[in-house]
Each structure stands twice: as structure tokens, then as C-alpha cells.
Amino acid sequence: MSAVPVTLADVIIELADRFGKDSIDDKFKAIAARKFNLGYFEVGKSWDWAGLETYGSVTAIPVVEATATLTAGSQTVAITGAVAAWKGRFFRVTGGDNLYRIIDASAGSITLDQPLIESGSQDVEIDKRFYFLPPEMRRLIAFDNLNDALVAMDNEGLRQTIRDYRNPLRQHPFSINGTDKFIDDYTTGSLVSTGGNVTFTGTDTLWLANAYPGDIVRFGSNNYRIRRVEANGTIISYNRALTKNNGAYSIIHDSPFTARIRGEFKESRVIPFMYIRYVYDLVHDDDRLELTPDARLAALDFGEAYLSEQFGKEGWETKLLKAQGRLVAAQALAHPTRPAFRQFSLLVPPGMGR
């Protein structure tokens, strides 16, 4: 094993060495992996590690306009064009003051969260206000428009183009709301996996529209995290499969945020954004750590401290302090060595003309 762990197997071997174990039994391995993953998660969410910055997008769709006959006091509306995808959207009479949430939808009919106040034949609108975001998103970052975010510099003939850090407050394309209470687990079709492989394939699956980065794929007694969806029948996982599977599965959406997009659109529009994601549990021996080498060592120290506490070892508190110190050092080392913009302290002391 290298001095810095690269895989879960490396982590287990190092923890066994620190605990003086000549052999690794299944019980120690399971507990060590669980405690290390706790530390790994803590280190991952403690800092905006550059390696965890990634891209996402949502497609804003236009308001649907229709005509419907409304009955005051009823929560059901028969409406031409209604589809199941309308579930969770908002319904209103065009130009009206009352807004209803659609709590169920099927072909030609919708059910509202409140009884209708209006009645008669009305022009109505169906508005999608909230959009599902990747469950792996920890913190939203605005998407840089490179035309506005780059600065050309010429210093004694040395020309370079760098990011403009003079205005760190960039407008986010939408606001973040709570989790979506209208989203359900997806279990349609069947899933095939092979041991040690990160690619899961599906039959009769529609994963492009129903699976997202950070979702949990569960089959057998194991959970795996989705890294990306490449096709309706192809998922790439953060984890290698422990076992072979050919059959039932579940995709579980892990408390994703929703986006409230500003404005209404006359046509569909793709809105990009950047975000910092989570790190997830390592499952297979060959699953790889994603943080910087210094951060990996910090996670290892946290795992040792948690494992010492589990086994009732004296001095686990000292080990925890050591882990925290290593984490602070890893965060400091993660700063760019030549930042594009640096603010220098003023030479005029406070109170002296300031």
C-alpha cells in the first residue's frame, strides 16, 4: 500500500496496522469501513474541495395554457392534455389570484390540494415552479459566463487570461427550496450488474428521466451511489458492485433540493449551474477516495479516532484532535498557490483618516 490510501482496501490495511492486527476478519473490516466512511464524509463536507466542483443543469419549461370547466367546491378538474408529469405543478385561472397545487394527475384529469373557488369555463395555466436538483449537490455555485468572468492581463510581455475575482457575488439562476414531496422511488424494469464493475445496465428502464447523480441504487442488501446516467439503460456508479444482480432494484432519491427558477418562459430553456457535491461511502475494496492526499490522511485519522471510540480504546479523544489538526492543514494546503486576485491590507491604520 502507498503511504496515502487510494482505495478502501488501503484504508482497511492501514487501520489494521494502527490497531496491531496481524489478520483482518470480516467483523473488523465491516466496522473499520463504517467508521472510516463517517470520517470521509465529515472531511468531504468540511471544505469546498476543488475536486468536488461539478456541473449541472435544469430545463425550465413554459407555462401550459388550456381551457377547463371548473366546479366550485370540487378538487378534481377534467382537462384535456393532462399527464402524470403535471403532479406537483401549480394550477390557476389565467389572471386569477388563487393558486392550487396539483397533488395528483393522470391522462385527462388533475386533483388539487384545495377545493376550487372558481366555476365555469375558464382559461387556465399549469406552471412548473420547482425543479429537481441532483441529490449529490451540497452547495450551489453560480455558472460563470466566461465572456464576463475572464480578464486579460499583459505584464511586461507576459500575457495571460485569468478568472475575474473582483466581484465574488454572482447572481444565482434560481433560489433553493426544500425537498420535493412529490417524487417517488423508481423501480421499473430490471437491473444487471457484475461484481467489481461500476456500470449497471437496465431493461425496460427510463433512467435518464428518473435517476440523478447522488441517488441510491439498491439491490440485494447493498446501496450504491449514482455518479452519472448515460442512457435510459446505463448508470455509472461511484461504487463498484459487490455482487452480481439480474432483477429487481430500487432507485431512492436521497433528500434532493428543489430549484425555484425566477421568471416564466415562453419556450423551454436549459439553465446551467455549478455546485460542490458530497463524497459518498466506499463500498467495494477497489472504490477510490476522491479527496486530495492531505484530506485522505485526515479522513484516515478520523476513522482511527472513531474506531478507537467504538472499541473503547483510551486516548481516542487525542486521536480526534490529531485528525482535526490534520484537516485544518489539508484545508490550508488546498488554497491556490497563486490566486488570481489577492486583497492587500491597507497601510493606513484604523482611525488615521479611514
251: in domain: yes
85 and 42 both lie in a single domain: no
148: in domain: no
Question: At which residue does the C-alpha cell 485519522 appear?
Answer: 301
334 vs 163, higher pLDDT: 334
29: in domain: yes
CA distance 313 to 245: 40
Q: Which of 134, 132, 135, 101 has its CA nearest to residue 116?
A: 101
Q: Which of 216, 185, 193, 184 has its CA nearest to residue 280?
A: 216
- CATH code, domain with 252: 2.40.30
Cell of 173: 439562476
83: in domain: yes
45 and 71 both lie in a single domain: no
Q: What is the pLDDT of residues 221-235, one digit of tens each?
A: 899 999 999 999 999
Per-residue pLDDT band at 2 (split at 50, 70, 90) = low
341 vs 141, higher pLDDT: 141
Q: What is the pLDDT of residues 187-234, one digit of tens each?
A: 999 999 999 999 999 999 999 999 999 999 999 889 999 999 999 999
Instruction: Tell me the average pLDDT across 69-90.
Output: 94
Q: How many domains does the chain have?
A: 3
Report CA torsion sign: 44, 45, 50, 55: positive
| pLDDT value of residue 94 | 95
Instruction: Tell me the average pLDDT across 291-312.
Output: 96
250 and 295 both lie in a single domain: no
196: in domain: yes
| pLDDT value of residue 168 | 46
Per-residue pLDDT band at 167 (split at 50, 70, 90) = very low
Q: What is the pLDDT of residues 32-49, one digit of tens each?
A: 999 999 999 999 999 999
85: in domain: yes
Range(s) of the domain holding residue 110: 64-127
Last residue of a domain, one of 127, 147, 167: 127
| pLDDT value of residue 150 | 52
CB-CB contact of 345 with 170 (8 Å)? no
Per-residue pLDDT band at 174 (split at 50, 70, 90) = confident
310: in domain: yes
| pLDDT value of residue 175 | 83
| pLDDT value of residue 341 | 47
Q: Residue 151: is its pLDDT beyond 80?
A: no
Q: What is the pLDDT of residues 286-297, one digit of tens each?
A: 999 999 999 999
The H-assigned helical ranges of the chain are 8-18, 26-45, 146-149, 207-210, 293-310, 316-333
Per-residue pLDDT band at 313 (split at 50, 70, 90) = very high
284 vs 170, higher pLDDT: 284
238 and 205 both lie in a single domain: yes
Q: Residue 73: is its pLDDT beyond 90?
A: yes
Cell of 131: 425543479
CB-CB contact of 129 with 88 (8 Å)? no
344: in domain: no
Q: What is the pTM of this model?
A: 0.83
CA distance 118 to 219: 48
Q: What is the pLDDT of residues 115-145, one digit of tens each?
A: 999 999 999 999 998 998 999 999 988 765 5
Q: What is the pLDDT of residues 246-263, one digit of tens each?
A: 999 999 998 889 988 866
Per-residue pLDDT band at 265 (split at 50, 70, 90) = confident
